[in-house]
Amino acid sequence: MKGNKGKGLLGLLILLACIALFGWFGYDTADDIKLGLDLAGGVSITYRTVIDDPSAEDMSDTIYKLQQRVQNYSTEAAVYQEGNNRINIDIPGVSDANEILEELGKPGSLQFIDEEGNVILTGEQVEEAQAGINEDRTTGAQEYIVSLKFNAEGTETFAEATTANVGKHIGIVYDGAIVSYPVVNTAITGGECYIEGMDSYEEAQNLAATIRIGSLSLELEELRSQVVGARLGQDAIATSLKAALIGFAIIAVFMIAVYRIPGVASVLALGLYVGLEMILLSAFEVTLTLPGIAGIILSIGMAVDANVIIFTRIMEEIGVGKTVRSAIKTGFSKATSAIVDGNITTLIAAAVLFLRGSGTVKGFATTLAIGIILSMFTALFVTRGGLIALYSLGFENPKFYGVKKNRTPVDFLGKKKICFAISIAAIVIGWAVMIGGAVSGRGALNYGMDFKGGTSTNVVFNEDMSLEDIDSQVIPVIREATGVTEVQQQKVAGTNEVIFRTQTLTVDQRQAMEDALVENFGVDDETITAESISGAVSDEMKQDAIVAVIISTILMLLYIWLRFKDIHFATSAVAALVHDVLVVLTFYAVARWSVGSTFIACMLTIVGYSINATIVIFDRIRENLRTKTNKESLADLVNNSITQTFTRSINTSLTTFVMVFVLFILGVSSIREFALPLMVGIVCGTYSSVCITGALWYVMTTRKKAVKAEPAAKADTASETDGSKKKGKSGKKAK
């Protein structure tokens, strides 16, 4: 016993030391985490097209390609149209505009020419250009290269050109100057090649950047560049951190009160989780925006889920008479499949979103993936180590772990028609409201500036005003004068200039805003300028997000089908996932809640949360099917499975809901914009997991069995009828 206590004490001390060490490193590296434009400001660059009247298609294509370029600096960089022929780029977390301009390059024309000066192809046909390092197989020396990838048209054209020019030079011309003049060693037909001969990696990077920026549809010239301040004040960060601490404290108290000693182990694991998350955010150079902070706080709530699954299993094992040590071992063993399947399913979605998404979608996917991997690691290893250490210290009595005995199954399937009707009604109402809004001219949804653009107004004040003063004094005046509710502010560093972004203003609204600023703050009206701006979320970004969600949904369906060996599990899970998204969409439509940049992140969070909750119930159904007896009906099995996991469903949803609710109460307006629909999604996800998914699986499974049984029944009837006729005939003969 003394030996066990010694090992337990040593294990606990090691765990506490790790928490302290990684917590300190996490706190120390917090300052190195890149903050988004809304939290820390950055660089704003405005380009103007060389031609005066570019087409909408060329502008859209150029904006999208620039968005791909600037993601090298931050996935949260925003690119949007300003006026008719200007493109604005906001890059967070940087403060040197000249350095960015030098690295980004001047967007000009790019051509590939042969030795006679004929244009072979243009920069528009180049998809990718990346610097790299190769190793010479003979000498082992490093070679600096630039790898190129062409689109379909460029692949065909370049294949013909290189076939005809083997042994000759092909020049790369940027803005009339040759930037590279490589020799064609062989015909290049696969759409990819590399340029060698650079003296340094920096030279390769510069050439790659020149080719990338020269592949734009339009030639651009720099109009202005400036360092801008944060859109939100320090209060935004302070209130978010305060919400995180309060939420974490509530969860810690809840876990210890409900799960006792296992709850203590989970709190220790969550402490380590937070420290590791800070370190990884810094290591992967994730740009953290205000919605990103909300996502991290949410992930803390979701990280509890794995622990709840494990602890519920341990309590069940103790309830059937096992010793605590045996219950811990068996509990982790039985919980592992649900945890792994649920998290891998969500991780698939995160991987696809990262590879196919852009902008905030890619940033969200990075944060989500980090949270998923960490939650699995801390639950399966850290919580286990902490629990074993506490047990070894002498906490061996079952009363320290709780007992969960079998409850009388609730007849969830008996209410399936009512639940289906409620869900269908909610979705139909949502579509009806959206169609009504579209027909009436209000719009199907209340799209914010990030989606439909607006008006950007530059104002030079007579004195330097803090963001807090602008928020409390100036913005209310603008709202009253214009009648708009959505107003974003941003300071230009080192000046008294402030940029206000609002929904699109009419001529009368612009004049009313100008008059109000002159009257209330003595602003010189000649220093006030206003321009129309496009949405920061471009059509291409929306399409990328939609395609990414579709692909990830298909892959999740295939994974669940493979793991559960039953297509009905997969289709039920995906159907419930679509249900949750549509119900939350109904909330956005009915409440006319602002659909801004956080909308995509909110929907993606709900997708991950919903599928994870569903997997837990399906895992229990799968387990119970293995031990099903002939006396037990399939309906009873499903009801029993949902009842067995019901406590987990409620406790997990409650802890996650608490985190988001505290954010909603204490957070700034943009956080509330994210938090309220997320709370709706959490409630909806719990409802669909408990009341919809199991019922859907049951209906599809029993219908399949009925369809299979019908031909057999007809065959039996036909056989019996045929047999009767034969018996009748033989009877006549006998007579």
- Domain locations in the chain as residue ranges: 2-35+236-400, 108-215, 413-431+539-707, 454-533
Mean pLDDT of residues grouped by 10 in the chain (735 residues)? Answer: 74 89 82 71 83 85 78 76 85 71 67 90 86 80 89 91 92 87 91 89 85 78 75 65 84 92 93 88 77 66 83 90 92 90 86 75 78 88 93 90 82 94 95 93 84 86 83 89 85 84 88 92 88 73 77 88 91 92 93 81 77 88 90 92 91 87 80 85 92 94 72 55 49 40
On the CB side of 509, how many CA atoms lie within 13 Å of its CA?
A: 17
pLDDT at 326: 94
**pLDDT score recorded for residue 667:** 73
* Of 593, 617, 618, the residue nearest 681 (C-alpha): 593
Residue pair 407/648 in contact (Cβ under 8 Å)? The answer is no
Number of helical (H) and strand (E) elements in the chain, helices listed first:
24, 17
For helices 360-377 and 324-356, angle between their N-to-C axes, nearest 10 degrees: 160
Q: Are strands 287-288 and 34-35 parallel, antiparallel or unpaired?
A: parallel
Looking at residue 301, what is its pLDDT?
Answer: 67
In CATH, which of 3.30.70.270, 1.20.1640.10, 3.40.50.300, 1.10.3720.10 is domain 413-431+539-707?
1.20.1640.10
pLDDT at 110: 84
**Which pLDDT belongs to residue 729?**
45
Which of 568, 564, 586 lies closest to 576, judged by CA? Answer: 568
Instruction: In whole angstroms, give the CA distance from residue 315 to residue 605.
Output: 30
Residue type, 698: Y
489-519 burial code (b ≥16 CB/10 A, e <16): bbbbeeeebbbbbbbebeeebbebbbebbee
pTM above 0.85, yes or no: no
- Sheet arrangement for strand 110-113: 119-122, 110-113, 171-174, 177-180
Fold match, 2-35+236-400 / 413-431+539-707:
yes
On the CB side of 678, how many CA atoms lie within 13 Å of its CA? 33
| Amino acid letter for position 456 | S
Token couple for 647: 């406590």
CA 252, CA 708: separation in Å to the nearest integer?
51
**pLDDT at residue 294, as a whole number:** 61
The answer to whether 352 and 553 are in contact (CB under 8 A) is no
Hey, which CATH number is domain 454-533, 3.30.70.600, 3.10.20.30, 3.90.1150.10, 3.40.50.720?
A: 3.30.70.600
CATH number of 108-215: 3.30.1360.200
d(CA 289, CA 26) in angstroms, rounded, equals 18
CATH for the stretch 2-35+236-400: 1.20.1640.10
Alpha-carbon separation of residue 99 from 45, 91, 103, 104, 227 (angstroms) = 12, 12, 6, 8, 12
Q: Between the CA of residue 200 and those of 29, 142, 654, what are the distances in Å?
A: 31, 10, 56
pLDDT of residue 708: 62
According to DSSP, residue 381 is labeled I
